[in-house]
């Protein structure tokens, strides 16, 4: 089987879907073609891919393979270079119906890794987790860079400097890593989430949980989420959360928001009134900016200053840690491949398998999932 790794073409995308480490394993059973320069933005040169067993080729060589490994969904020019019935694996925007239809038009067997179910067997293929972990880390590092004060408490001959106060909104994979990173830098941390089990995780990392009590059974039920993901909370709970968060944000120096609801617009957690009440020079990093933002003042791809507060709206923070983001992503892809390639190297797609069913968005011309 020929496996192709094209260079990513989406603006700002720095990652690559395979690394020398994963290619070494693939090349034992397959012919692997990497597009020249595909790894450059992730600090991997062509020579390293060749040493691992790949052949270097053009975009047409890589995209024309039987199995194409990508980070992002192909655009029209890339799709035009792909073969009918080729297998495509990547973060393929499964909720974007037009994009799925376009892949079906080409006749691709497309697997969207964002849709990997949250079951133990699929953990090693979970690209949302591997990339969110990196984003949580980078969010704190970026905030620390923009913040005009120290993060840790310092006692110096010239007097004492207070530790920064960090507020984390949404404590999934990114939020937990943000807490851990801010803790290493010496900050004092508070965090909020809708899912009750998060409280214990927050406290185990040495942060304080902001408890928004549940007043009805309906609120308690919705807060459990589904499949490890949050669901939109009732308006009354959101209002009580906003009141509490408003008070905590007034004291915070850095706010990192990560709250997402799969397939929907991100919930607004830091409204303009709260931004106005924050201290001058404080920093907000809105990790949900690409899904509409947890703060209505954040702007995608920009750092803006509003009411004296720096608001960082950089999407896809994992692209800023391209080498490690690619290393983890490539391992996720390799583990997924093991699911659809038999020991003899041939394709074996079991459409009854739970992971296959969740991720397969089109099977040839057949569209299997259109929207959230
Ligand atoms: P996510 O990126 O979808 O959302 C980030 C966080 O925002 C979540 O914790 C969510 O509860 C929270 N959120 C949503 N609405 C909110 C609101 N109004 N206010 C405050 N917070 C809000 O989530 P994620 O990081 O992908 O992970 C969700 C959970 O799934 C985590 O507990 C994670 O550990 C778990 N997980 C399990 C597996 C597995 O079992 N295989 C794999 C990956 C993740």
User: In this predicted complex, what is the ipTM?
Assistant: 0.94
How far is it, in rounded angstroms, from Cα 284 to Cα 232? 22
Question: Which pLDDT belongs to residue 360?
Answer: 97
Q: How far is the CA of 181 from the centre of ligand 1 (A)?
A: 18
The CA-atom distances, in angstroms, between 200 and each of 207, 211, 229, 243, 246 are: 10, 12, 17, 23, 23
Residue that the structure tokens 């709250």 belong to: 259
Give every CB contact of residue 267 below 8 A, 6+ residues apart in sequence.
232, 233, 238, 259, 261, 294
How far is it, in rounded angstroms, from Cα 55 to Cα 62? 10
Question: Which pLDDT belongs to residue 197?
Answer: 86
Question: Which pLDDT belongs to residue 231?
Answer: 86
Ligand 1 atom closest to residue 195's alpha carbon, by position in its atom list: 11
Q: What's the helix, strand, coil split of the chain in %, to 5?
A: 40, 20, 40
Cβ(263)–Cβ(236) under 8 Å?
no
Residues of the chain where predicted confidence (pLDDT) is lower than 50: none
By most ligand atoms within 8 Å of CB, the mutation choice from 91, 190, 230 for ligand 1 is: 230
Q: How far is the CA of 101 from the centre of ligand 1 (A)?
A: 28
Q: Which residues form the pocket of ligand 1, taking CB atoms under 6 Å from any ligand atom?
A: 118-119, 123, 126, 128-129, 132, 169-175, 192-195, 228-230, 233, 258-262, 267, 269
What is the residue-wise DSSP string for 95-163?
T-HHHHHHHHHHT-EEEEGGG--SSGGGGGG-HHHHHHHHHHHHHHHHHHHHSSS-SS-EEETTEEEPP
Query: For residue 371, with 0-12 CB atoms within 10 Å meaning exposed, 13-18 middle and 19 or more buried, which class applies?
Result: exposed
pTM: 0.94
Q: How far is the CA of 258 from the centre of ligand 1 (A)?
A: 9
Question: Which pLDDT belongs to residue 152?
Answer: 97
Q: Show the tokens assigned to 122.
A: 């699929």
Q: Which residues pair with 70 in a beta bridge?
A: none
pLDDT for 3-35, tens place per residue?
A: 999 999 999 999 999 999 999 999 999 999 999
Three-class SS of residue 184? Answer: helix
Residue 208 per-residue DSSP state: E
Q: Whose CA is nearest to atom 31 of ligand 1?
A: 172
Question: Which pLDDT belongs to residue 370?
Answer: 52
Count how many Cα atoms sit within 13 Å of the Cα of residue 358 in the half-sphere of its side chain: 16
Q: Show the tokens assigned to 20.
A: 């020398």
Give every CB contact of residue 311 below 8 A, 6+ residues apart in sequence.
275, 283, 284, 286, 295, 297, 298, 299, 303, 304, 305
pLDDT for 158-183, tens place per residue?
A: 999 999 999 999 999 999 999 999 99
Q: Whose CA is nearest to atom 40 of ligand 1?
A: 118
Q: How far is the CA of 194 from the centre of ligand 1 (A)?
A: 9
Question: Which pLDDT belongs to residue 372?
Answer: 54
Q: How far is the CA of 256 from the centre of ligand 1 (A)?
A: 14
Cβ(101)–Cβ(359) under 8 Å?
no
Q: Whose CA is nearest to atom 25 of ligand 1?
A: 172
Q: What are the residue numbers of the active site?
A: 118, 123, 126, 129, 229
Three-class SS of residue 89? Answer: strand
Checking DSSP bridges between strand 208-209 and strand 154-156, what pairing results, if any?
unpaired
Residue 320 per-residue DSSP state: G
Q: Whose CA is nearest to atom 20 of ligand 1?
A: 193
């Amino acid at each position: 089987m020929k496996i192709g790794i094209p260079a990513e073409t989406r603006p700002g995308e720095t990652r690559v879907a395979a690394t020398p480490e994963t290619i070494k394993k693939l090349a034992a059973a397959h012919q692997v073609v990497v597009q020249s320069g595909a790894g450059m933005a992730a600090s991997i040169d062509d020579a390293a891919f060749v040493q691992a067993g790949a052949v270097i080729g053009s975009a047409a060589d890589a995209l024309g393979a039987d199995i194409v490994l990508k980070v992002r969904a192909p655009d029209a020019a890339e799709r035009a270079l792909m073969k009918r019935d080729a297998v495509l694996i990547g973060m393929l925007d499964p909720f974007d119906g037009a994009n799925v239809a376009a892949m079906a038009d080409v006749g691709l067997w497309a697997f969207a890794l964002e849709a990997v179910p949250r079951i133990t067997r699929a953990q090693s293929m979970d690209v949302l987790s591997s990339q969110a972990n990196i984003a949580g880390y980078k969010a704190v590092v970026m905030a620390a860079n923009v913040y005009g004060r120290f993060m840790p408490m310092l006692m110096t001959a010239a007097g004492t400097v207070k530790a920064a106060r960090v507020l984390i909104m949404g404590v999934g994979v990114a939020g937990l890593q943000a807490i851990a990173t801010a803790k290493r830098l010496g900050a004092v941390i508070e965090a909020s989430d809708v899912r009750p089990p998060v409280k214990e995780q927050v406290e185990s990392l040495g942060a304080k949980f902001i408890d928004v009590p549940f007043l009805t059974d309906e609120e308690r039920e919705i807060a459990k989420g589904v499949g490890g993901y949050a669901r939109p909370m009732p308006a009354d709970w959101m209002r009580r959360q906003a009141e509490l968060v408003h008070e905590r944000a007034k004291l915070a120096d850095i706010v990192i928001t990560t709250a997402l609801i799969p397939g929907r617009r991100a919930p607004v957690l830091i409204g303009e009134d709260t931004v106005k009440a924050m201290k001058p020079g404080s920093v907000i990093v809105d990790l949900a900016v690409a899904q509409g933002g947890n703060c209505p003042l954040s702007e995608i791809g920009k750092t803006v200053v509003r009411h004296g507060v720096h608001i960082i709206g950089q999407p896809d923070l994992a692209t800023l840690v391209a080498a490690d983001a690619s290393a983890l992503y490539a391992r996720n892809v390799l583990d997924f491949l093991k699911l659809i390639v038999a020991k003899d190297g041939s394709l074996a797609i079991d459409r009854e398998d739970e992971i296959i069913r969740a991720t397969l968005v089109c099977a040839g011309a057949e569209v299997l999932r259109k929207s959230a």
